[in-house]
A and B are shown apart, each in its own frame.
Chain A
Amino acid sequence: SQTIHQWPATLVQPVGSPLSLECTVEGTSNPNLYWYRQAAGRGLQLLFYSVGIGQISSEVPQNLSASRPQDRQFILSSKKLLLSDSGFYLCAWSFGLGNQPQHFGDGTRLSIL
């Protein structure tokens, strides 16, 4: 069966510091991968998605970037965090063809001080 791992679970970072959140999927190959952010009191917002290694689509302009160095690894990064980057970040995967359910990691709660 497929599993998705996301870490760390919580993170407290100062403004201006770098960020690296990692997500890995096991038990499948060539999944679609997604990064979402859930700001306080707001719905989930798609940040990035990837349909293959090195293929990243950005949904909203922002202070973040994503990379997919391996088939089942998806990384969310920032060079300098802003206060507005605080939120709950979720990684998800789905099979690639057609409409498919998305399967979510447990999320990372990021607080910027």
Chain B
Amino acid sequence: KNEVEQSPQNLTAQEGEFITINCSYSVGISALHWLQQHPGGGIVSLFMLSSGKKKHGRLIATINIQEKHSSLHITASHPRDSAVYICAVNSGGSNYKLTFGKGTLLTVNP
């Protein structure tokens, strides 16, 4: 079993829809990251959080430490949001090593 599980694996939405991507982890963590990988392969860090909630534009990330679960929400989705969204965690007392989920492929249709 992977230490970091994401769901769904694939997600197709219509423009304007509210989107939720989930991440569950099985180890103790010091931080959780959400990353966005564009079709060309480049990766952008969206959020790093260890508690509560963070918001940036139309993106919202939440984490529940007790339940070992995080969600990434996209409001008013747009075709340019189409990408792979990756959850990763710092665990095992390491500030350096990230353990990654396999990613969620999001396609937003106009």
* Residues of A near any B CB (own CB < 8 A): 32, 34, 42-46, 49, 51, 59, 88, 90, 92, 94, 97-107, 109
Contact = CB atoms under 8 A, between A and B. Distances in A.
B48 interface: yes
B42 A101 contact: no
A59 B35 CA distance: 21
Contact of A99 (B4, B48, B102): B48
Nearest to B45: A101
Contacts of A34: 96
A32 B96 contact: yes
B50 interface: yes
For the residues of B in contact with A, the DSSP-based class is strand
Contact of B96 (A51, A105, A109): A51
B103 A43 contact: yes
B86 A43 contact: yes
Contacts, number: 56
Contacts of B50: 99
A106 B40 CA distance: 8
Contact of A100 (B40, B95, B97, B102): B95
Contact of A46 (B31, B41, B97): B97
A11 to B, nearest CB: 13
A77 B96 CA distance: 21
B96 A104 contact: no
28 contacts: A34-B96, A43-B2, A43-B86, A43-B103, A44-B86, A44-B88, A44-B100, A49-B97, A51-B96, A59-B97, A94-B96, A97-B95, A99-B31, A99-B90, A101-B33, A102-B33, A103-B45, A104-B35, A104-B42, A104-B43, A104-B45, A105-B42, A106-B40, A106-B42, A107-B41, A107-B42, A107-B43, A109-B41
Interface in B4-38: 4, 30-31, 33, 35
Nearest to B30: A99
Interface string B41-67: 111110010100000000000000000
A98 B35 CA distance: 19
B98 interface: yes
